Structure 1
Amino acid sequence: MSMLSTARTAARTARASRALPFASFSLAARAKSLHTLPELDYAYDALEPHISGQIMKLHHTKHHQTYVTGLNAAEESYAKAPSPKERILLQPALKFNGGGHINHSLFWKNLAPQSQGGGQLAAGPFKDAVDADFGGVDGLKKKLNAATAAIQGSGWGWLGYNPTTKKLEVVTTANQDPLLSHIPIIGIDIWEHSYYLQYQNVKADYLQAIWSVINFKEAERRYVELHRNKVTI
């Protein structure tokens, strides 16, 4: 995939998810408007006992903030870089911090307290697609958890929509790489900072617990909107 195709894909993915605090990964635009840490739609302790308030606060205010700070710094340096070589050298920082910002901005929307419907998949077109592509929500959980648990090191497990096959598919990405091959519907952070204080080294327990606070309403909204907009890659 060419760099131009990758940029176009990233922009389409962002428009489809509507979970991001910016419309595209445009360096020129970012030089004029710095990224900021998005606010959560719920209190830090609202996802307990499944995800502790301590983890949520650290994850949001420390880890995500670090990606925001790093992205702003990298983009400022990129805008001032005097040569193509220096801009190329900045690309890893842009990818890592930009991906961290994109992924986490989606992740917060991806979660909801049980009092607000977290963990509840209602009847509708998204549920129909899950039933068709995975044999039901239990099949989805099993496949996504297995793929995510198998990630070596840090990364993300995704439920994404493939516009080519027109199916929901399980995909993983390494480190903070954003999902570009599919339209993200649900993302699960498997970096240790997302679970270690509570679940220590037992990733399987974290992956089981997080489904109790997955925001299926948001997943439904993403799924319906991408079809309404006829998003393609």
Structure 2
Amino acid sequence: MIVKTAKSLLVATLITLVAAATVSAEPFTLAPLPYAADALAPVIDKETMQIHHGKHHQAYVNNLNGQVATFPDLAQLPLEAIMSRMSRYNDAVRNNAGGHYNHQLFWQIMAPAGQGGEPSVELHAAIKRDFGSLVALQNAFNQAAATRFGSGWAWLILDENNKLVVTSTANQDNPLMDVVEVQGTPILALDVWEHAYYLQYQNKRGDYATAWWKLVNWHKVNELHRSATN
């Protein structure tokens, strides 16, 4: 009887430890940059990239993991699903899940200058249809970046009618969230928080936005466009 009780206690302890380990595991992690921190220079300098990725983005990941105890379902959902039901969560989830998603996308849609390729035939046709030309799209996008008051993002999205639309959001909001006015699938994003450019460009956000087009990874943007239209 004593042996049986001891075994039962051991099993119960093991189950508790496994459950605790499962709960304490952090579901959200910071992936490394897809290129070296100095690979985007001279458009974006090495120090900015190191601080932006290693400090700011890491903080969003840490803070989002801190919300899992309050909202356990976060650990089971992909980021896109969290965005689509953001109205169910608090501001901490909104800011930090948004920050994690936005930056994860931002790193991917950039590449060292000269390595980003060009818009695909399909995307180029859609740009011409909805904006008239790539230059017109860039002008509209840069205007959205320049006129976003305070911190936020500029976006190129595909809306529910498969139309390309330029929009912007405040803070760490994005067009996937069910709490923003203009919704759609992001295919291009520019971070216009000051920490994204201030060390190099100071208050010249327009210069940053203009130079940034040299870094657009059209290979990734084309992939996002194809996925969104299929």
TM over 0.5: same fold?
yes
Structure 2 counterparts to residues 68-147 of structure 1, below 5 A: 68-79=61-72, 91-117=90-116, 120-147=117-144
The residue type equivalent to 2:221 in the other structure is: A
Q: 1:176 aligns with which of 172, 179, 183?
A: 172
The answer to whether the aligner puts 1:38 opposite 2:31 as a matched pair is yes
CA offset digits 1:65-94 (Å, max 9, x no partner): 0000000001223349xxxxxxx9961101
What corresponds to 2:207 in structure 1? 205
What corresponds to 1:24 in structure 2? none
Q: Judge conservation of contact 1:155–1:191 (CA < 8 Å) in 2.
A: yes
- The 2-side partners of 1:168 and 1:111 are apart by 19
The total of aligned residue pairs comes to 190
The residue type equivalent to 1:196 in the other structure is: Y
The residue type equivalent to 1:201 in the other structure is: N
What corresponds to 1:154 in structure 2? 151
The residue type equivalent to 1:53 in the other structure is: K
Specify which structure has the bigger relative contact order, considering alpha-carbon pairs within 8 angstroms and separated by 6 or more residues: 1
Offset of 1:121 from its aligned partner?
1.9
- The 2-side partners of 1:102 and 1:31 are apart by 22
Change (3 A) 1:209 1:91: same
- The 1-side partners of 2:148 and 2:92 are apart by 22
The residue type equivalent to 1:161 in the other structure is: L
Change (3 A) 1:64 1:94: same
- The 2-side partners of 1:179 and 1:155 are apart by 12
What corresponds to 1:61 in structure 2? 54
- Unaligned runs of 5+ residues in structure 2 are 1-21, 74-86, 177-182
Q: Judge conservation of contact 2:114–2:214 (CA < 8 Å) in 1.
A: no
- The 2-side partners of 1:139 and 1:45 are apart by 30
Q: Judge conservation of contact 1:156–1:174 (CA < 8 Å) in 2.
A: yes
Offset of 1:104 from its aligned partner?
0.4
Other structure's SS at 1:75 match? coil
Q: Judge conservation of contact 1:75–1:94 (CA < 8 Å) in 2.
A: no
- The 1-side partners of 2:192 and 2:68 are apart by 26
What corresponds to 2:229 in structure 1? 227
Other structure's SS at 1:206 match? helix
- The 2-side partners of 1:126 and 1:213 are apart by 17
TM-score w.r.t. the length of structure 1 is 0.76
- The 2-side partners of 1:185 and 1:130 are apart by 12
CA offset digits 1:88-144 (Å, max 9, x no partner): 996110110000001000000010112422xx4244101111111111111111001
Q: Judge conservation of contact 2:175–2:184 (CA < 8 Å) in 1.
A: yes
- Unaligned runs of 5+ residues in structure 1 are 1-28, 81-87, 229-233
TM-score w.r.t. the length of structure 2 is 0.77
Rg larger in 1 or in 2? 2
Q: Judge conservation of contact 1:160–1:182 (CA < 8 Å) in 2.
A: yes
- The 2-side partners of 1:30 and 1:194 are apart by 34
Q: 2:190 aligns with which of 188, 191, 212?
A: 188
Q: Judge conservation of contact 2:109–2:221 (CA < 8 Å) in 1.
A: yes
Change (3 A) 1:133 1:30: farther
